[in-house]
Amino acid sequence: MLSSPVRLIPRTIRLVHSPICNFSRSFMDLKVLLSSLNDFASLSLAESWDNVGLLVEPSPPHTVHTLFLTNDLTEEVMEEALQKKADLILSYHPPIFRPLKHITWKTWKERLVIRALENRVGIYSPHTAYDAAPQGVNSWLAKGLGVCTSRPIHPSKAPNYPTAGTHRVEFSVNCTEDLDKVISAVKEIADVSITSFPTRTDDEEQTRISLNCSQEALIQVVAFLCQSRQFYQKTEILSLEKPLLLHTGMGRLCTLDESVSLATMIERIKRHLKLSHVRLALGVGRTLESPVKVVALCAGSGSTVLQGMEADLYLTGEMSHHDVLDAASQGINVILCEHSNTERGFLSDLRDMLGAHLENKINIILSETDRDPLHVV
């Protein structure tokens, strides 16, 4: 099914997080907690190149009393997590991305792994799974634009096919003798499901055979059909697609209910992200008073996701110099806020959503030392 627009209406909810309530919290087994986190936002939504899920696991059994949220897990943030007795760190960005060939005290990422294991602290990263989720990072970023409708720029697909198999093979059989021969032969092939129904072609009674099969089974099915010119000439082979998931995917294309000036939009974004400055590239022929109606956005690094989108404004954390020039040449304004500044504020919403999702069974705290490494000076 195709993704339909989501209507975003900014609301402010004030929640008080008191350390007093920590004493009433219970705990969760790590494996149970991981299952609940996957129910909240399935890791299957993550991009294929990403490294998500449980990255560091203390020896089992491992119970979690305190879940610690951070955008980036640096050594300073690790020290804070240990001081606050965290049992599991949820780091939006995976601190382990490229394979580690050894675990020594030589590099800061290796030291993170050592300290986590020595102190029995797990590390979990959702990254692009949270980017794609309907209640995730990009939807949060869109809330800062004002009242608008939103849809994913690149919709996510369901993890599984709607039926068994990746391909469908259809052909017609004229007589009962041929039908029995075909069904008998196909049943010998693994990963094939068979359905049949009567049909009529040119006033001739026939049986239509429909096979759902895997990629591997397809080769055997075609080899069998090639043995009969009659079957092969009437065969249709369809490649099945996984269905699109509603409101789920990378980036967001947002259409405001009412146009605003670029200057007004800049102030809205700065207020939402709690920033004093952003970087702006004016599109050719545009000014600060130019109207903004359609915004294409992507948290983090948005060049690939935003490329080719028709919009008045691109909003992301970072883009390459040449991608900015390309957008500006098309009259598209570009706002860059630095990579993690477009992501970090989501963690406050995440803390509240996870608290409700996990029924307040564990203590969830937000890092106070996590920050973007770049500063305007």
Asked if 310 contacts 294 with a C-beta cutoff of 8 angstroms, the reply is: yes
Token pair 């919403």: residue:
349
Which residues line the annotated binding site for a divalent metal cation? 93, 131, 339, 343
Residues in binding site: 93, 131, 339, 343
Torsion of CA 176, 180, 183, 187, to 10 degrees: 170
Residues 6 or more apart from 48 whose CB is under 8 A from it?
none
Query: What whole-number distance in Å separates Cα of residue 338 and Cα of residue 352?
Result: 25
Return d(Cα 52, Cα 140) in angstroms, integer: 20
Can you list the pairs that 183-189 forms with residues at least 24 positions away whose Cβ atoms lie under 8 Å?
183/209, 185/224, 186/211, 186/221, 186/224, 189/213, 189/217, 189/220, 189/221, 189/224
Sign of the dihedral defined by the CA atoms of residues 275, 279, 282, 287, in that order: positive
Which two structure tokens, joined as six digits, stand for 280? 């702006």
Q: Tell me the C-alpha to C-alpha distance, in Å, between residue 36 and each of 125, 165, 279.
A: 14, 29, 38
- Nearest-Å Rg of the Cα atoms of the chain is 27
Indicate the DSSP class of residue 58: P
